[in-house]
A and B are shown apart, each in its own frame.
Chain A
Amino acid sequence: MSDSKPDVAASAPVVRPSPLSPHLQVWRWHITMAASILTRATGVALYAGLLIVAWGVLALASGADAYAAFLAIMGSILGRFVLFGITFSIFYHLAAGIRHLVWDFGKGFEPKTANMSAFFCIGFGLAAAVVVWLLAVMTGGA
C-alpha cells in the first residue's frame, strides 16, 4: 500500500446508482427474454401462492367452517383464475429452474439451445397446467 493510493472506500459516494441495462422498450422481444421475465414473474406469483397455502392450512386448522369459506373463495371464478395461474407458474418455474441449474454447469448457452429450452419451458408450463386441470375436472376437484 503506497501513501499516494487514494482510499477508495472513503472517497466513494455512499450510494452509487445501480448500473442499468437498456430499458425494456428498446429491446426487440425474443423468446429467451420472455422466458427470463416470465421466470421472475412466476416466482412472484408463487410467492403469493405460498401465502394462499398458508391461508388454506390456517383455515383448515381453524375448523370446518373456516375451511369451507376458504374453498368457496378459491372455487369462485376469480379464485380459479388465480389457481390456474399458480398451476402454470409452478410448472413453468420448475422447468425454468432446471434450465438455470443446467446453465450453472455451463451448458446450454448456445443461442439455438437457449431458444429451444425457453420454448420448451413455456410449452411445458402450459401443457402441464392444462393436464392438471383436466385431471381436476375428471376427479371432481375443479
Chain B
Amino acid sequence: MVSTAKQHRTDMARARGLGAAHHGVNHFIIERATSVALVPLCLWAVWAALKIAPSGYDGAVQLLASPINAVLAILLVLVSARHMSVGMRVIIEDYIDAKTTRIALLLLNTGVAGLAAAIAVFSILKVALPGLAGH
C-alpha cells in the first residue's frame, strides 16, 4: 500500500459529493434554484419587450428609468447568466471528451457569460442613472 497523506481518507470520503463532473451537486442545485427565480423574471422580460418594442429609444430609456424595472432587468441578467453558464457547462461536459478542448470551452463559457452579464448590468445602470453618467 502506498502510504501518502491522502490515503488516510477512505474511498467513500473521497467520492462523497462528487459525481462524474468532479464538482458535486453544487451546479445541479444552482440550476434548479435559478430556474425557479427565472419563471417570474422571464414573464416580466416578455412584458418589458412588448412594452418597449413599439416605443423606440425614448420608450426603452423610460422603462429602465423606473427603479423596479431596472432592478428586475439586472436580476434577469444576473440570474440568467448563472443559469445559462451552468446549463452550457453540462452540455460541454456531456459532449466534449478531450480534456484540453473541454477546459478551453468551459473557460470560454464562463468568460462569455460573465462578460455579457457585466456589459448588460453596467449598461442598465448607465441608462437608469443618467445623472451619474456625466453630461
Query: Which residues on A are within 8 Å of B, measured CB to CB?
Result: 1, 3, 5, 7-10, 15, 17-18, 40, 43-44, 46-47, 50-51, 53-54, 57-58, 60-61, 64, 67-68, 71, 87, 90, 94, 97-98, 100-101, 104, 132, 135-136, 139-142
Query: Is B11's CB under 8 angstroms from A98's CB?
Result: no
- Confirm or deny: B88 has a beta carbon within 8 angstroms of a beta carbon on chain A: yes
| A44 to B56 CA separation, bound complex (whole angstroms) | 28
Query: Is B36's CB under 8 angstroms from A101's CB?
Result: yes
| A86 to B134 CA separation, bound complex (whole angstroms) | 35
Tell me whether A60 and B123 are in contact in the complex, defined as CB-CB below 8 angstroms, given that A1-B1, A10-B2, A50-B80 are known contacts. yes
| A60 to B130 CA separation, bound complex (whole angstroms) | 12
Task: Give me 10 A-to-B residue pairs in the complex whose CB atoms sit less than 8 angstroms apart, sorted by A's number.
Answer: A50-B81, A53-B76, A54-B116, A54-B123, A57-B120, A58-B120, A60-B64, A100-B35, A101-B35, A139-B54
- Confirm or deny: B99 has a beta carbon within 8 angstroms of a beta carbon on chain A: yes
Query: Which residues on B are within 8 Å of A, measured CB to CB?
Result: 1-2, 7, 10-11, 14, 20, 32, 35-36, 38-39, 42, 45-46, 49-50, 52-54, 56-57, 60-61, 64, 73, 76-77, 80-81, 84, 87-88, 91, 94, 97, 99, 112, 116-117, 119-120, 122-124, 126-127
Which residues from chain B contact A15 at a C-beta distance below 8 Å?
97, 99
Which residues from chain B contact A50 at a C-beta distance below 8 Å?
77, 80-81, 84, 116, 120
Query: Is B97's CB under 8 angstroms from A61's CB?
Result: no
Query: Is A57's CB under 8 angstroms from B123's CB?
Result: yes
Query: Is A53's CB under 8 angstroms from B120's CB?
Result: yes
Which residues from chain A contact B46 at a C-beta distance below 8 Å?
87, 90, 132
Query: Is A141's CB under 8 angstroms from B54's CB?
Result: yes
Which residues from chain B contact A43 at a C-beta distance below 8 Å?
84, 87-88, 91
Tell me whether A97 and B120 are in contact in the complex, defined as CB-CB below 8 angstroms, given that A17-B97, A60-B127, A71-B56 are known contacts. no
Minimum CB–CB distance for B113 against chain A, Å: 8
Minimum CB–CB distance for A40 against chain B, Å: 7
Which residues from chain B contact A17 at a C-beta distance below 8 Å?
97
Which of A3, A5, A57 gathers most chain B CB within 10 Å? A57
Query: Is A51's CB under 8 angstroms from B1's CB?
Result: no
